Structure 1
């Protein structure tokens, strides 16, 4: 039985939509047990649960998406995100899925679950395309990044790709051009680091148009750039879908293509557990997609496979 801990608080649409997504997931997957972490002040859990495989976990605190993270976060032991991560650290859950505050999630994951290696900073990875697998890392877990951190993202991203597919990782740093003379001092320093390492395969710089196609399947950047790139891409897609019908153009083919290629949610890699972050603005379908992704990585215990890969390469 796959045990999914769902932090129902923090999403823009509230816990009611998260509960609906949970109902549908449990109905679709007979080998899944959902532990539903909620705040009774915000959501009335049904007196009669629709399924014995939806386990209510009432918490009396939650971290909103607008909150600024400070040291007091580590004392909020009855918040939904804290308790879900604590239960995973105690092997009571196989994966945590949250739609809440990213900064709180990262800080508590580091504090409660722990890092695979000190100073190997955890990063959010998003699958840009599934077949062949290609990923973007980081998406917002880290904003101000030194060259050593970017190098760590490359190692985590390469491990993710090789743990999730049969492909060899081919890493590139996102930059304003592919020429070695371009980029910031941080990017150039990381370029030198990756060039001197035996693993992973490093192909220099990548430009924005290489995110969705080409041989470079792990694109590395700092969290601010990655988050902006991802949301700009998603925003352009939504804009096109809204505008094309005005010109009598059928968008069904585009919608099917994106549905087949997209992956809802991002995986926080570099911690000793499986953790998925969904968009705060996720609707029902997006929440279901993020939970399905969590189930997918829990089935193979992805963090352990990444840990094994890093150990084999002498990183851990």
Structure 2
């Protein structure tokens, strides 16, 4: 049985669709149990009257908001839905799914779960394409990244691809050009570090045009760049779909790509537990997709598999 811990309080559209997404997932996956963490301040109108043998509701006295600062007091908010959901990974849950404050998610995950290796910073990975698998690392877990951190992102991304697919990881470092003289000093230092390694396979700089096609299937960048790239790509896709709809065009190709070719949400790797961070603006379909993504990585026992892969590489 896969045990999912779902934080219902992070989405921009309100907690009710978290309840609805939980019920929909349970109807489709008989091997899944969900524990849903919600705020005790919710009114009865926000909480559907639901009863399911594989759904447990946990009322919490606190919730962490999108605008909350990441300060030391965050670690004392033990009654918040996010704290309890992440902490449940130490007590039997297989995966956490949340749509809340990214900074708080990363900080609490590091605090409660610990990192899989010292000085290897956790990163958010987003799949850009599922078949063949290619991904972008990092999406915002880290903003100011020295070269050694980018090197770590390459290792995490490569291990992710090896665990979840049959593809051989081929790393590219996102840059403004492929020439050796291009990029900041940090990017050039990271290029040197990756060029000296036998694993993962490093193919040099990648330009923005290589995000969705080409032989490089692990694209590495700092969190600020990755977050901007992802949101710009999603914004363009939404814009094109809207334009096609207004002009009576066929949206089916875009809809298929958006709904079935990409898992919803990002995976936080590098901590001792499986965690999916969904987009704050997720609708019902996106929430269901994020939970299904969580089920996938729980079945693969992703965190332990990545740890084993990195340990194996480190022992050589």
Give the TM-score band, short-chain normalised. over 0.9
2:149 matched to which residue of 1? 149
Distance 1:298 1:32, change over 3 A: same
What TM-score results when the alignment is normalised by the length of structure 1?
0.97
1:266 matched to which residue of 2? 266
1:62 matched to which residue of 2? 63
What do residues 7-36 of structure 1 show as CA deviations (whole Å, max 9, x unaligned)? 111210111111111110111111100000
2:295 matched to which residue of 1? 295
Distance in 2 (alpha carbons) for counterparts of 1:309 and 1:62:
36
The correspondence of residues 35-114 of structure 1 with structure 2, limited to 5 A, is 35-44=35-44, 49-90=50-91, 92-114=92-114
1:205 matched to which residue of 2? 205
Structure 1 stretch displaced more, 283-292 or 254-263: 254-263
1:228 corresponds to 2:228: yes
1:314 matched to which residue of 2? 314
Structure 1 residue runs of 4 or more that deviate by more than 6 Å after TM superposition: none
2:138 matched to which residue of 1? 138
Distance in 2 (alpha carbons) for counterparts of 1:123 and 1:279:
16
For residue 179 of structure 1, give the secondary structure of its aligned residue in structure 2.
coil
For residue 313 of structure 1, give the secondary structure of its aligned residue in structure 2.
helix
2:28 matched to which residue of 1? 28
For residue 204 of structure 2, give the secondary structure of its aligned residue in structure 1.
strand
Distance in 2 (alpha carbons) for counterparts of 1:253 and 1:272:
38
Distance in 2 (alpha carbons) for counterparts of 1:43 and 1:52:
23
User: Where does structure 1 lack aligned partners over 5 or more consecutive residues?
Assistant: none
CA contact (8 A) 1:23 1:50 kept: no
CA-based RMSD of the aligned residues comes to 1.4
CA contact (8 A) 1:16 1:43 kept: no
CA contact (8 A) 1:15 1:43 kept: no
Distance in 2 (alpha carbons) for counterparts of 1:152 and 1:5:
28
Distance in 1 (alpha carbons) for counterparts of 2:280 and 2:310:
31
Distance in 2 (alpha carbons) for counterparts of 1:138 and 1:43:
37
Distance 1:291 1:184, change over 3 A: same
For residue 84 of structure 2, give the secondary structure of its aligned residue in structure 1.
helix
Shift of 1:181: 0.5
What TM-score results when the alignment is normalised by the length of structure 2?
0.97
Residue-pair matches, total = 315
User: Where does structure 2 lack aligned partners over 5 or more consecutive residues?
Assistant: none
The correspondence of residues 150-299 of structure 1 with structure 2, limited to 5 A, is 150-299=150-299
Distance in 1 (alpha carbons) for counterparts of 2:289 and 2:151:
30
CA contact (8 A) 2:126 2:135 kept: yes
1:116 matched to which residue of 2? 116
